[in-house]
A and B are shown apart, each in its own frame.
Chain A
Amino acid sequence: MIHFDKVSKKYADQTHALAEVSFSIQPKEFVSIVGHSGAGKTTLLKMILAEERPSEGKVFFESVNIHKLNRKELTKFRQKIGAVFQDFRLLPQKTAYENIAFAMEVAGRTDEDIAADVPHVLNLVDLAEKMHNFPHELSGGEKQRVAIARAIVNNPDIIIADEPTGNLDPINTYEIVQILKKINDMGTTVILTTHNKGVVDSVGKRVITMEKGKVVRDDKTGKYIL
């Protein structure tokens, strides 16, 4: 489904964020990418979202080179991906409901679909009673649940979660991981970056370990080992 082919990312100051990274992710997999800060985890996810371009190598989604997509194709491609970030990245001037509705609007969904699906998906993340609250009126865990609801509302092929529990307390961390596992159980591919050992161990699925921009381990049912 996703294939990294000798991908390197070199910045102007000659530092390497990624160095010849190659691996594949199959449909319905749950992959945890672990490593210290600066290991290249976030850069890897940015490559999938085409937020960053590789200096060398290619990133494929199915058989398409993501970085060869034109602007229109890239927009369509991004609608197939649900992204969750450590800093939530909700639209501050929109309510929880509107944040999720926005993702549906850009995908061209009808008003009827939006009215039906948004409450449903907010229910799934147990936030139905706060649908009209603005992000600044929500706790960190609640914001992240809105972000997850936004990520899953268009039934994406992949969920990319970049340190989604980085700003959360243990209880919220546990809840977010359970939601991500549930999403994966329903058949969506999940790619999670984290440096939280507890999270990786509780998921108990494939773990890719990165160090200084390189993949140093790839365990099918791994644990967090550094």
Chain B
Amino acid sequence: MVKAGSVYFWRNAFVSFSSVIVMVITLSFLSGLIFGNAALQATLASLKGKVDMNVYFLPTTAPDDILALKATLEKKAEVTSVTYTSREDALDALKGRHPDDGTVEAINELGDNPLGAVLNVQTKDPSHYEALARFLKTDNAVSPNGVSIIRKVNFYDHETAINALSRIINATNRLGFVLSIVFVAISLIIAFNTIRLTIYNSREEISVMKLVGATNKYVRGPFMVSGVMCGVAASLITLVLFFFLIYYSRDFAKNFFIGIDFLAYYKANFGQIFGIVVGSGVLIGAVSSYLAVRRYLKV
């Protein structure tokens, strides 16, 4: 059966070649989606990383109260990091940023450090900041004597921008998912129809096989082997094609997609990408052939 399938593949070289080309296009769509998804996720992660929230404390707040709040925040599942900047560090940073514009002299004239400590908070998703800001406004932990120790939470300054970004990220994720499904479905239909057409050309042959007493399994086998061979050939071509594409466009891609290195991603995830692309090729070839032959077996 394997031998008959291989012979069929080679003797129908032109037809096999056409099927392989169409499957390369299908699998390129699929591979493009894998890399597109990686780029999207990296870009979104990078954008998410740029969104944070600063909690400014009153200059009179005791560092222990702030560190206790830091510990409370760190225990929350949605919080990824909390960085504490003491009053002194905040002052040093300010002086460092404005060494020659009179700011340092103005602060020295005040005689005391006017700055409060700051907690910089980062969450897993920008949509978490709103709930966190609400918590900081209302929780008893931050108002030990009924007076809040917090001077300002800058979420409220950036609320509109953060919420908009949050919505864009969610919408992009959903759109990416839907587009992936649509593209994969379209390319699958194209690949299936190409294989169906090649088998349509062999319908007479199938009926002759049946009339000389071949079982369905015996007729179907070589066509499925040939379909699988098309799938394997197409997936290997696609993998090589993508390697060269990524290799020669890596500088451009790095700048365009905010720092993602596709070549490194390809190397690091090669096993998984190989499995998905070759597995899909084999599956498309085998299932398309199985379904296409089935139609002509009713002799």
A contact set with B: CB distance below 8 Å: 49, 51, 71-72, 75-79, 81, 83, 89-93, 102-103, 105-107, 150
Per-position 1/0 for B214-225, Cβ under 8 A of A: 111010000000
Of A75, A89, A107, which one neighbours B204 at CB under 8 angstroms? A89
Q: Could you list some 29 contacts between A and B, CB below 8 A?
A: A49-B211, A51-B211, A51-B299, A71-B216, A75-B213, A76-B213, A77-B213, A78-B210, A78-B211, A79-B213, A83-B211, A89-B204, A89-B208, A89-B211, A90-B208, A91-B205, A91-B208, A93-B8, A93-B11, A93-B12, A93-B205, A102-B212, A103-B213, A106-B209, A106-B214, A106-B215, A106-B218, A107-B213, A150-B212
B8, B11, B204, B213: the one contacting A106 at CB < 8 Å is B213
- With contacts defined as CB atoms under 8 Å apart, how many contacts are there between chain A and chain B in the complex? 46
Q: Which of B12, B211, B213 has the most A CB atoms < 10 Å from its CB?
A: B213
What 5 additional pairs, Cβ within 8 angstroms, besides A91-B209, A107-B213? A89-B208, A89-B211, A106-B209, A106-B212, A106-B214
CA distance A107 to B8 in the complex (A): 20
Give Cα A81 to B212, complex, Å.
8
Q: Are A92's CB and B205's CB within 8 A?
A: yes
- Complex CA–CA separation, A83 to B216 (angstroms): 19
A47 vs chain B, min Cβ distance (A):
13
Q: Which residue of B lies closest to A78 (CB)?
A: B213
Query: Given contacts A89-B204, A92-B205, is CB(A83)–CB(B8) below 8 Å?
Result: no
> Chain B: how many interface residues by the 8 Å CB criterion?
17
Chain B residues, CB < 8 A from A150: 212
Query: Please, which residues of chain A bring their CB within 8 A of the CB of B299?
Result: 51
| Closest CB in chain A relative to B135 CB, distance in Å | 70
**Residues of chain B within 8 A of A72, CB atoms compared:** 215
Cα distance, A103 to B212, chains bound together (Å) = 6
The answer to whether A75 and B215 have CB atoms under 8 Å apart is yes
- A83-B212 contact, Cβ under 8 Å, with A51-B299, A92-B205: yes
